[in-house]
Amino acid sequence: MVSGDPRPQPVGAINKLDVVTRPQAVGASDGEDPYLDKGLLDRFVDEVERLEKYVEGLNRQMLSGPTVLDGVWKDVNDDQDRETRQFSISVARCYPTKNRYPDVMPYDHNRVMLKTSKDDFINSSYIRDLSPSTPTFIATQAPIPTTMETFWQMIYEQQVFLLVMLVSSKSKGTSEFHQYWPSERGQSQRHGAFSVTLRSSKNTEFHIERFLQLRHVPTKQVRTVLHMQFTAWPEFGIPEKASDLLQFVSQVQNYHLQQKQLTLPIVVHCSGGIGRTGTFCTVYSAVQDINSGRGITDIPKVVKNLRTQRKWMVSEKEQLKFCYEAVLCYAHQVLAKRK
């Protein structure tokens, strides 16, 4: 940071240096509570206090006029322009009818490629290396009529068990989606070579869990897919309560840990697969870092990383602020359990 810059240093810019020198977190790999280690707990408490002060000051104006949040947002956008200008999206441009939005397309270098189609394109991106404890994601757009079959083909080929949806079924307008699963238990939908059957459904206050059976008709091979739909995100803006999203993230994490192969990707989509999807991935990664004893995540750094893998992940300034608030909320929850 330039000397004399009136902005407070973002929480995490120092913390990541701390992480490098930290001892191996107790329980980070064996399921135990890493904060049983007093040194890690004391350091975490200090990080949470710093984050709390930083979040309180996000809307404070700097000397030049904009707020602290404005400065962080500009830095994230400038970094995207600088780091991704050389990235190509040439393949996606060849398939305009398969892109929900003309300005939301995957980079060539990390796009998901279909294996058994006449062409290999789908508007989906691998999201890797957000942190050592975060699984691989596939960020994708909500299916449209021309991509229903290829969507399920991707789920099948990638052996996906967890499918996360961040759009409410009641959303209209810009968040409109086409339902790609059957509504009634026992009912099936056919999408080309794939048949999707709803086996069970459970509703909570903020999400719906559906167990789907995905069948590749030509080979009769069957896979189970858990469809996790978060319903507490309004059509516009951010969730009313960060705690709702945190509970949802926790549910997804618990199911992920039950998988036989933890290396399999989690598919995440909203409408275009960037705004809500990027927010979810950021919060998920931050929660994983806290749970593994790595402390508070450098949130702008995570968002910058995301945007080198799919453009405009965390696409609104308020979503970035929400990431800070959600991480702080979770940190408080973790400390409250130790009182």
pLDDT at 27 over 50: no
Does residue 131 sit within a domain?
yes
Cβ proximity of 171 and 177 under 8 Å: yes
Does residue 290 sit within a domain?
yes
The answer to whether residue 329 is catalytic is no
Span 81-96, average pLDDT: 97
Span 211-224, average pLDDT: 98
pLDDT at 54 over 60: yes
- What pLDDT, on the 0 to 100 scale, is given for residue 260? 87
Does residue 289 sit within a domain?
yes
Does residue 326 sit within a domain?
yes
| Distance separating alpha carbons of residues 132 and 262, to the nearest angstrom | 13
Pick the residue with more confidence: 170 or 330?
330
| Distance separating alpha carbons of residues 152 and 3, to the nearest angstrom | 52
Beta-strand relationship, 162-165 and 221-230: parallel
Indicate the number of domains in the chain: 1
Reported pTM? 0.90
Residue span of the structural domain in which 208 resides: 81-336
pLDDT at 128 over 70: yes
| Distance separating alpha carbons of residues 107 and 87, to the nearest angstrom | 6
Q: Which is nearest to 327 in space by CA: 246, 234, 232?
A: 246
Spell out the alpha helix ranges (H) of the chain. 15-21, 38-56, 68-84, 90-93, 148-157, 242-257, 275-291, 299-307, 317-336
Cβ proximity of 123 and 100 under 8 Å: yes
Cβ proximity of 149 and 116 under 8 Å: no
Pick the residue with more confidence: 139 or 8?
139
| Distance separating alpha carbons of residues 277 and 140, to the nearest angstrom | 8
pLDDT at 42 over 50: yes
Residue 216: enclosing H or E segment and its boundaries?
Answer: strand 207-216
Q: Where residue 293 sits, what CATH number does that domain have?
A: 3.90.190.10
Does residue 229 sit within a domain?
yes
Does residue 102 sit within a domain?
yes
pLDDT at 88 over 50: yes
CA angle 250, 203, 187 (to 5 degrees): 120
Q: Which is nearest to 300 in space by CA: 65, 140, 79, 139?
A: 79
Give the phi and the psi of residue 167 in degrees, each rounded to 5. -125, 135
Query: Which residues, 6 or more positions from 37, have their beta carbon under 8 angstroms from its beta carbon?
Result: 23, 25, 26, 293
Q: What digits encode the pLDDT tens for the residues 131-169?
A: 999 999 999 999 999 999 999 999 999 999 999 999 986
Of these residues, 94, 270, 281, 329, which one is catalytic? 270
> Side chain identity at 250, as an amino acid letter?
S
Sign of CA dihedral 212, 204, 174, 135: negative
- What pLDDT, on the 0 to 100 scale, is given for residue 6? 30
Spell out the alpha helix ranges (H) of 201-298. 242-257, 275-291
Q: In Å, how far from its chain's centre is CA 283?
A: 7
Does residue 130 sit within a domain?
yes
Does residue 37 sit within a domain?
no
- What pLDDT, on the 0 to 100 scale, is given for residue 32? 83
